[in-house]
Amino acid sequence: MSTPTLRRPASPAASRIVPALKGLVGFAAALAVWQALAGIGFVRPEYFPSATTVLGDAISLLGQPGFTLQVLATLSEMLLGLLIATVVAVPLGILLGRFPVAYRMSSLLVEAMRPIPALALTPVAILLFGLSGATTISLVVWTSLWPVLINSVYGMHSVDRVALDTARSFGLSRWSALYRVALPSAAPFIATGVRIAIGIALAVAVATEMITGSGSGVGAWIVQASSGGSLVPVYAAAVLVGLLGYLLNFLFERIERRLFRWHLSYRKEAS
Amino acid sequence: MAAPTASRSVTARRRGRSALRWVMESAILLVVLVALWQLVTSVTHPLYFPTPAAIWGQVMQAWFTPSGFSTNILPSFERVTLGWLFAVVVGVPLGFAIGRVRGLGAYLTPLMHYGRAVPAPVVLPIFMIFFGIGNVMKVLFIAVGIIWPILLNTIKGVESVEALQLDTATVYGIRGSRRLLHVELPAALPDILAGVRISLALAFVLMVISEMIAASGGIGYQILQSQAQFDILNMWAGIVVLAVGGVVFNALLAAIEARVLRWHRGQRREAL
Amino acid sequence: MTSSGERNQVLGVRDLVYAYKTADGDLEAISNLSFRVDEGEFVSIVGPSGSGKTTLMKILAGLLRATRGSVEVSGKPITGNVPEGVALVFQDYSRSLFPWMTVEGNVAFPITRRGLSAGEVAERSRQSLSAVGLDGFARRYPWELSGGMQQRVAIARALAFRPRLLLMDEPFASVDAQTKADLEDLIASVHQQFGTTILFVTHDIDESVYLSDRVLVLSAHPARLLLDREVPLSRPRDQVATRELPDFVHLRSEIAGLILRPGHPVQGADPVQTR
């Protein structure tokens, strides 16, 4: 018997608004500290501008197509890379998760390739694709492939054998059992893999653009901007790109929660 | 439930034999692919893809030599290790402190999620202005860039310690450091190590970009330089060295994890 | 109780009230509860689900603060702090044992750094594990054991602590019937062997009668004391023979009547004794 803890029944709206407000308090406090530190003036304001300066610059950046178009370019490259990685990794993960032999035979190959940081392959990608968006996309694919693959395998491994046997006993064929039982129960894990990939894919996309300096994407924009005397645009871009990453993650989490509300298991996933 | 009667030596021997089989099986695809690569490249001689044998020769000649090791390999892995240690040493206690104050996490985690969402490369120019392009900058850059998953996972781990375990500790009068070290820390450890594992992968990415952009030396620098000078063989050799390093670091972490989380794995296996 | 005058009181509960705060004001879960437990006694509290039994246990263990009233352990009042010398065995053994410690580690943990030498700690752990029939399992991990064995570990941990008062909160509610019978006999023999004072909470009427020297019956919503009755059965008891005795059958149906048909006192039921 568990202790009955009766709480004031919170309305669904309140249960969403209160945490959001608390989060905003955290942001406000951080901005205040930033503003105060910058106000002391122990660092030149070009290098450590105040929060208000940066936020003002960020807002004006939003109105500059020279910036927003680069952000869109990065975003589309990143999303395309993510999509390709998912399309490749999910079937592969299902295959490896379903057939232990395939899993065992490929495990060392995966373990050897997975730790290669995407950025180390930048020169190879440049040789193959030149200084183009394809270079960025290919590296995003490389970096996203592994979390999606690993989590797909993991998801397949966690499929309830009883559920699978039940489905088979009801006369479902091997394929429809896979499609109707295994895949849905592995889906939340696959989604987790994609969400982990999103986080690192944006960093890799921006980094690639910074290294290639090809003139496209927000990474190239930042390299350009930082060559001037002031770091204010770099701070502003960081704030905005961070916001983009935050929103992407937030959106994806919402979709996940909507889709997998039935998924009860506590997932020891990494945030 | 594990059969309590199973003789240990028999299981150990069986495990030893199956481990050997496992290694051989798991290597098949890797070996086949490398062999295929060797075969194809030694016939067609593609411009950008040297043979694996040639790459390995270059690795042994230029990288795995005392001077190659100390000038290129060591600095890179030193940066990764120091930045990573720094992030762990700061992130775990900080996350623990935040997680223990009930309700504080709700105020701070959204901010930290934001911090994690800022792609670290974006702020690299800022780090370069403040700390130059030396080792200090790179270590700090790696540490700051990878601390977020550690912080977030530690907070999550501390906040999700079983209430019953805490109650048990309370009833038996276990307080202070004993409670912290023997109850809360082990209970949060699976989450903490999950964060540490993610941050290790990130540390490699950030090490490479800091070396490629703030050029001064290291594996990332060598790889990019080789490509610029069209030394394709050396470029590949650098990539192989990075991969080997990644495998070694991953294996080390996996070994630590397997050791300290043996109970966790066992428990989960029994629960299935 | 007639003999209570000479025995030492271990637990004294007086006018205990526990109320939750809800949107519609305070809701009493425990209402004016008074009882005592004497040294060496095995007392059961039986009541329907939701009668605030776990809440009561948490208050007695110092995990929750009572709204009103007093609780004394060995003459010392507890007010929100954790009383010395009280051990609690939870229903959910799997989550109250520490999975990162071996069986021995779990048992030794609460008594380490309490002025005992390492040898004494090891000896006490060994003794307790032996008392619950777990010789040879010291080096195993709790999750390697069956549910019943895990609960034995939790009991051994409590025994090693040498508590003045052992609280048990539905300890056998999540094990199968056979294991439950085994564990009941185990705790009865441990009670005899160590003379531990035990307050045992259960919703199983048979169990409460079978195990205890005295049974307290609680009502639901809020918990009030309905009956405080000696169990007129000799020890040692037997799972089959004892349960067939007329005294057993009579007391069981009396309690069942109180719990299952509240408001319809069974014929011959004594009025509540408040001591």
pLDDT value of residue A11: 60
Nearest CA in chain C to B262: C100
Length of chain A: 271
Domains of chain C: 1-85+168-275 (3.40.50.300), 99-162 (no CATH)
Instruction: Look at residues A247, A230, A259, A236 and name the one whose alpha carbon lies nearest to residue A44.
Output: A230
Q: Is A266 on the interface with C (CB under 8 A)?
A: no
Q: How far is CA B127 from each of CA A9, A32, C144, C219, C247, rounded to the nearest angstrom? A: 48, 22, 51, 68, 83
Summarize the confidence of residues C251-256 as an average pLDDT. Answer: 86
HSE-CB of A153 using CA atoms within 13 angstroms? 18
Q: Is B106 on the interface with C (CB under 8 A)?
A: no
Give C143-196 as a DSSP string. Answer: GGS-HHHHHHHHHHHHHHT--SEEEEESTTTTS-HHHHHHHHHHHHHHHHHH--
CB-based contact C53 A1, cutoff 8 Å:
yes
Compute the distance between CA of residue C186 and CA of residue C132 in angstroms, rounded to an integer.
Answer: 7
pLDDT value of residue B16: 62
Give the single-character DSSP code of A234.
H
pLDDT value of residue B7: 44
Compute the distance between CA of residue A143 and CA of residue A147 in angstroms, rounded to an integer.
Answer: 8
Compute the distance between CA of residue A109 and CA of residue A103 in angstroms, rounded to an integer.
Answer: 10
How near does any CA of chain B get to the CA of A154, in Å? 14
CB C103 within 8 A of CB C138: yes
pLDDT of C126 above 80? yes
| DSSP H helical ranges for chain B | 8-44, 52-58, 66-68, 74-100, 104-117, 120-131, 135-159, 163-171, 176-179, 185-213, 219-228, 232-260, 262-271
pLDDT value of residue B197: 87
pLDDT value of residue C271: 45
How near does any CA of chain A get to the CA of B179, in Å? 23
CATH of B51-271 among 1.10.3720.10, 1.10.4190.10, 3.40.50.720, 2.30.110.10: 1.10.3720.10
Least CB-CB distance to A9: which of C20, C23, C203? Answer: C23
Q: Which of residues 196-225 of B touch A (CB under 8 A)?
A: 197-198, 201-202, 204-205, 207-209, 212-213, 219-220, 223-224
Q: Which of residues 232-271 of B touch C (CB under 8 A)?
A: 263-264, 266-267, 270-271
Compute the distance between CA of residue A67 and CA of residue A89 in angstroms, rounded to an integer.
Answer: 33
Helices and strands (DSSP H and E) totals, chain A: 11, 0
Q: Is C116 on the interface with B (CB under 8 A)?
A: no
pLDDT bracket for residue A177 (50, 70, 90): confident
Compute the distance between CA of residue C155 and CA of residue C193 in angstroms, rounded to an integer.
Answer: 14
Query: How far is it between the farthest Cα atoms of chain C?
Result: 58
Instruction: Give me the residue label for tokens 């090891």.
Output: C122
CB A167 within 8 A of CB A185: no
Residue B270: its chain C contacts at CB < 8 A? 143-144
3-state secondary structure of A32: helix
The tens digit of pLDDT for each residue in C161-193 reads 989 999 999 988 888 888 888 889 999 988 988
Compute the distance between CA of residue A54 and CA of residue A34 in angstroms, rounded to an integer.
Answer: 11
Nearest CA in chain B to A227: B125
CB-based contact C20 A5, cutoff 8 Å:
yes
**Token digits for C41?**
């006694």
**Token digits for B266?**
């066992």
Summarize the confidence of residues C116-131 as an average pLDDT. Answer: 91
CB C60 within 8 A of CB C71: yes
Summarize the confidence of residues A3-18 as an average pLDDT. Answer: 59
How near does any CA of chain A get to the CA of B5, in Å? 28
Residue C144: its chain B contacts at CB < 8 A? 1-2, 4, 266, 270
CB-based contacts of C107, cutoff 8 Å, min separation 6? C125, C128, C129, C153, C156, C157, C160
Choice between A79 and C243, residue whose per-residue pLDDT is larger: A79
pLDDT value of residue C3: 46
Nearest CA in chain B to C161: B172
Q: Is C232 on the interface with B (CB under 8 A)?
A: no
Q: Residue C222 belongs to what H/E stretch?
A: none
CB-based contact C170 A5, cutoff 8 Å:
no
Instruction: Look at residues A103, A80, A86, A95 and name the one whose alpha carbon lies nearest to residue A197.
Output: A86
Handedness of CA A235, A236, A242, A246 (dihedral sign): positive
CB-based contact A245 B118, cutoff 8 Å:
yes
pLDDT value of residue A104: 85
Compute the distance between CA of residue C124 and CA of residue C103 in angstroms, rounded to an integer.
Answer: 13
Q: Is C214 on the interface with A (CB under 8 A)?
A: no
The tens digit of pLDDT for each residue in A127-175 reads 898 888 899 999 999 999 999 999 999 888 887 777 777 877 777 777 7
pLDDT value of residue B11: 55
Instruction: Look at residues C28, C12, C7, C169 and name the one whose alpha carbon lies nearest to residue C78.
Output: C12
HSE-CB of C171 using CA atoms within 13 angstroms? 31
CB B113 within 8 A of CB B155: no
CB-based contact B1 C109, cutoff 8 Å:
no
Instruction: Look at residues A101, A109, A96 and name the one whose alpha carbon lies nearest to residue A153.
Output: A96
CB-based contact C96 B174, cutoff 8 Å:
no
pLDDT of C103 above 90? yes
For chain B, which residues make up each domain, given as ranges?
Answer: 1-46, 51-271
pLDDT value of residue C273: 44
- Tell me the Cα Rg of chain C: 19
Least CB-CB distance to C49: which of A1, A3, A9? Answer: A1
CB-based contact A196 B26, cutoff 8 Å:
no
Which amino acid, one-letter code, is at B198?
I
Residue A5, burial from CB neighbour count under 10 angstroms (0-12, 13-18, 19+): exposed
> How many CB atoms lie under 10 A from the CB of residue A92?
18
Hey, which residues does C73 pair with through a beta bridge? C11, C76
CB-based contact C143 B183, cutoff 8 Å:
no
3-state secondary structure of B74: helix
Q: Which of residues 177-236 of B touch C (CB under 8 A)?
A: 178, 182-183, 186-187, 189
Mutation for testing the A interface, residue in B49, B73, B122 having most A CBs under 10 Å:
B122
Q: Is C53 on the interface with A (CB under 8 A)?
A: yes
> How many CB atoms lie under 10 A from the CB of residue C100?
22
Compute the distance between CA of residue C107 and CA of residue C105 in angstroms, rounded to an integer.
Answer: 5
Instruction: Give me the residue label for tokens 């999910």.
Output: A90
Which segments in chain B show pLDDT lower than 50?
1-9
User: Going along chain C, which residue ranges are E strands?
Assistant: 9-22, 25-38, 42-46, 68-73, 76-77, 86-89, 165-169, 198-202, 214-218, 225-230
The tens digit of pLDDT for each residue in A69-97 reads 999 999 999 999 999 999 999 999 999 98
pLDDT bracket for residue C221 (50, 70, 90): confident
Handedness of CA B34, B37, B41, B43 (dihedral sign): positive
CATH number listed for the domain at residues A56-259? 1.10.3720.10
Residue A5: its chain C contacts at CB < 8 A? 20
Instruction: Look at residues C219, C220, C223 and name the one whose alpha carbon lies nearest to residue C17.
Output: C223
pLDDT of C268 above 50? no
Compute the distance between CA of residue A200 and CA of residue A185 in angstroms, rounded to an integer.
Answer: 25
Q: Is A3 on the interface with C (CB under 8 A)?
A: yes
pLDDT of A270 above 90? no
Compute the distance between CA of residue A228 and CA of residue A62 in angstroms, rounded to an integer.
Answer: 20
pLDDT value of residue C6: 60
pLDDT bracket for residue C263 (50, 70, 90): low
Long-range contacts of B248-253 (CB under 8 A, 24+ apart): B249/A115, B249/B77, B249/B80, B249/B200, B249/B204, B250/A111, B250/A114, B250/A115, B250/B200, B253/B196, B253/B197, B253/B200
Hey, which residues does C12 pair with through a beta bridge? C36, C72
How near does any CA of chain A get to the CA of C13, in Å? 20
How near does any CA of chain C get to the CA of A5, in Å? 8
Least CB-CB distance to B107: which of A26, A43, A241? Answer: A26
Compute the distance between CA of residue B91 and CA of residue B123 in angstroms, rounded to an integer.
Answer: 19
Summarize the confidence of residues A206-213 as an average pLDDT. Answer: 88
Residue A6: its chain C contacts at CB < 8 A? 20-22, 27
ipTM over 0.90: no
HSE-CB of B271 using CA atoms within 13 angstroms? 13
Residue B219: its chain A contacts at CB < 8 A? 120
CB-based contact A121 B213, cutoff 8 Å:
no
Least CB-CB distance to A3: which of C23, C27, C58? Answer: C58
Angle at A47 between CA A46 and CA A51, to 5 degrees: 80
Least CB-CB distance to C145: which of B1, B167, B264? Answer: B1
For chain A, which residues make up each domain, given as ranges?
Answer: 56-259
Residue B25: its chain A contacts at CB < 8 A? 104-105
Least CB-CB distance to A127: which of B110, B116, B227? Answer: B227
Mutation for testing the A interface, residue in B209, B223, B269 having most A CBs under 10 Å:
B209
Which chains does chain A touch, 3 or more C-beta pairs < 8 A?
Answer: B, C
Q: For B203, phi and psi rounded to 5 degrees?
A: -60, -40
CB-based contact B170 C62, cutoff 8 Å:
yes
Summarize the confidence of residues C39-52 as an average pLDDT. Answer: 87
Q: Is B11 on the interface with C (CB under 8 A)?
A: no
CB-based contact B115 A242, cutoff 8 Å:
yes
